Amino acid sequence: MNKIIVWHNPRCRKSREGLKKVEEIASKKNLEVEIRKYLDNPPDVSKLKEVLKKLNMNPIELIRTKEAIWKEIFKNDYKQGKLDDNQLILAMHDNPKLIERPIVIFGDQAVLARPAEKVLELFK
């Protein structure tokens, strides 16, 4: 695999920083970068599950819990134990703004590139 995939939100400073780091690495290693603007084209549930597995994360760890939509719609149900992992994944699919970014995928591994230097973990 010689492609790095970045789930990116161009309006997010942390996402732009992560993408910049990925592009630096890609140019040195002669790798292609594929940018997926996940807000414009949300990942389906199976893709979210696949990426969570590559990240070795639980769904709640990938959710932006400071987003207004989380606080307004999901927070209370989550605190009361009314949302399971599948419901959290569906919430991210239906509301991609909830997905933390940037996610960088390389082969069968992925990292949440916060801070951007976490990308280096994919190339050890």
Tens-place pLDDT, residues 47-106: 999 999 999 999 999 999 999 999 999 999 999 999 999 999 999 999 999 999 999 999
Instruction: Tell me, yes or no, if 68 is annotated catalytic.
Output: no
Tell me how far apart the alpha carbons of residues 54 and 43 are, in angstroms, rounded to a whole number.
15
**From 7, 12, 33, 54, the catalytic residue:** 12
Q: Is 34 helix (H, G, I), strand (E, B) or coil?
A: strand
Same domain assignment for residues 19 and 52: no
- pLDDT single digits (tens) 19-38: 999 999 999 999 999 999 99
Same domain assignment for residues 81 and 91: yes
Same domain assignment for residues 28 and 70: no
Range of the domain at 80: 43-99
pLDDT(1) > 90? no
- Residue of 78, 7, 75 whose CA lies nearest to 47: 7
pTM for the whole structure: 0.94
Q: Is 71 helix (H, G, I), strand (E, B) or coil?
A: helix
Average pLDDT over residues 40-52: 97
Query: How does residue 117 score in pLDDT terms, banded at 50, 70 and 90?
Result: very high
Same domain assignment for residues 61 and 92: yes
Same domain assignment for residues 92 and 105: no
Same domain assignment for residues 55 and 95: yes
